[in-house]
Amino acid sequence: MSKKNQQGAADAQAAAAARGAGPFLKRNWKRLAAAGVVLAVAAVLFLPKNSAAPTAGSVSYIQANPERRDITKVFSDSGTIRAANTYEVKPLVRGAVLTAGFEEGDVVEAGDVLYTIDSSDAANSVERARLSANQAERNYEDAVNAGYVRSGIAGTVVSLKVAPGDLVNAGQEVATVRADGTLLLTLDFPAADAAAFGPGQAALVTLDGTYETVPGTVRSVSGADTLNEGSLLVRAVTIAVPNAGGLTAAQAATASVNGVSALGSARFAYQQEQTLTAEAAGTVAALCVQPGAAVGAGSRIVQLQSDSLTRQLEQAADNLRSAQLSLEDAENSLENYTITAPISGTIIQKNVQAGETVGGDSGTAASSPMCIIHDLDYLEMTLDVDELQILSMQEGQAVRINADAIPDQSFAGVVTNVSSAGTTTGGTTTYPVTIRIDDYGALLPGMNATAEIEISSVKNALSIPNGALIRGNYVLVTADSPSAAGADPAMTAPEGYVYVKVKTGVSDNDYIEVTDGLTEADTVAYEATGPSLDFGYAQPGMTVTVAGG
């Protein structure tokens, strides 16, 4: 304000004192109004910053006593209801759909057959792959056997003709195995008697020299009569005698069958004797048995090794594994022709019917779902919570759900996940919070809903309206309040009031808990135009006007 204007205002006020306020105000109201504005601006600029008292005009206050009440802080946000799990069934193979025995709205269990697709070509592929795998397995067994000289008969190893480290050629003799578990004794019997003998008939064998008898069994009887040295008609009868280990081909014996004795004696003969040879050249890596050992048919006698044998075995192993993988792929592909429900749920969409072709260029695109299943065991919704609120969210918090489509009913939910993966947009970061709704009633996926989450609560708390709290946690109380004794002297308050600093706790949209600094006997004051006022809280006649000066 200029010095000239200030002087003019002073002169006008003096004149008003001399002549009366009425005429003066009518003539000078514009100048007085301008002066008042300048003084108000000056007060804002030059008064202490912590002064909260009005400087001009008058302010209306509502006075009230702190009261005990329950306070609950609630976070509220909107989201879209969705199914707990949604699965789109898509074809993995191409073919004609043979069956599709379900309809939209049907409830299916995981594993239920939804579609079958013509799999005739795939079944043929499986059979061809199985044949190839079988052949590869036989080739592998041959390659393994090529590294061993095996016995072709069961018996005793009579001799080993090689030692470890020896180099052998293909076809070289390496061992002899003799089948001596049962010895054969061939004797001449009178033809007339022998004609009545038959295979399997019991015989009694008597050893020469010791006259020890052992049991035997008729193995065969010749069909033709011959003359022996005595010009008698005879038939050759072969008797099998079990060898307990003491019989050899050097032992001679005679026998009787059905009381008929043989016409002389003969030496035992072995049933079979095999000379084993190497099928491939190589070095003797190991002797698998020792001379005199009893072996079975197919037993390993000598192990050979060579670079060619090793390469042959490796190649056979690779071919076998490749054939097995091809068979597995073919079998897996065959399974894809029967499409089952991946989850339990409700069919909400059926896009393919029996008779249609799926997969490939000539049918439904492989990316298009044949049907869609919703798991409706429970529903979910996700809220995008601001970074300032996310630390208040915890798994297990109760949630109240209200849907626009069902205005007269609320649903209970629970927080199941508070994600730490935030998304920043426009300088603000939000975090997804997942809510599960088990008892969802008429709620449907896709509905819009509002979720209210109880952040914190307190019972019977000393509370004041939110509008009574100013920056710095100060509250205006009457000078005669008990808590006025703790007033902050640095704060300038309107006449009859003081500022008291308080400690606060839980708040909701209307009230805030005071944990220290006030009592129920205090009288707090706050501007009638303050935020979050609940005029039902103040008693009638509690509004006061304080003039500024």
Higher pLDDT, 279 or 55: 279
Residue 285 has pLDDT above 50, yes or no: yes
| pLDDT tens-digit readout, 503-536 | 999 998 899 999 999 999 999 999 876 544 333 3
C-alpha 518/C-alpha 523 separation (Å) is: 9
| pLDDT tens-digit readout, 311-363 | 999 999 999 999 999 999 999 999 999 999 999 999 999 999 999 999 865 44
Domains recognised in the chain with CATH numbers: 3-46 (no CATH), 58-69+459-547 (2.40.420.20), 75-83+377-458 (2.40.30.170), 87-117+339-372 (2.40.50.100)
| pLDDT tens-digit readout, 125-143 | 999 999 999 999 999 999 9
Q: How confident is the model over 69-95, as a mean pLDDT?
A: 92
Radius of gyration of the chain (CA): 55
Q: Residue 501: count other Cβ atoms within 10 Å of its Cβ.
A: 14
Q: How confident is the model over 243-262, as a mean pLDDT?
A: 91
C-alpha 194/C-alpha 262 separation (Å) is: 10
Higher pLDDT, 256 or 57: 256
Residue 171 has pLDDT above 50, yes or no: yes
pLDDT of residue 536: 34
Q: How confident is the model over 105-112, as a mean pLDDT?
A: 93
> Cβ distance 205 to 185 under 8 Å?
yes
Higher pLDDT, 29 or 445: 445
* Helices (H) then strands (E): counts for the chain: 5, 37
pLDDT of residue 84: 86
Q: Which residues pair with 477 in a beta bridge?
A: 498, 524
Q: What's the pTM value of the predicted model, to 2 decimals? A: 0.49
Residue 539 has pLDDT above 90, yes or no: no
The model's confidence at residue 60, banded by pLDDT at 50, 70 and 90, is confident
For residue 56, how many C-alpha atoms fall within 13 Å in the half-sphere facing its CB? 12
C-alpha 510/C-alpha 253 separation (Å) is: 123
Higher pLDDT, 204 or 545: 204
> If you average pLDDT over every residue of the chain, what do you get?
85
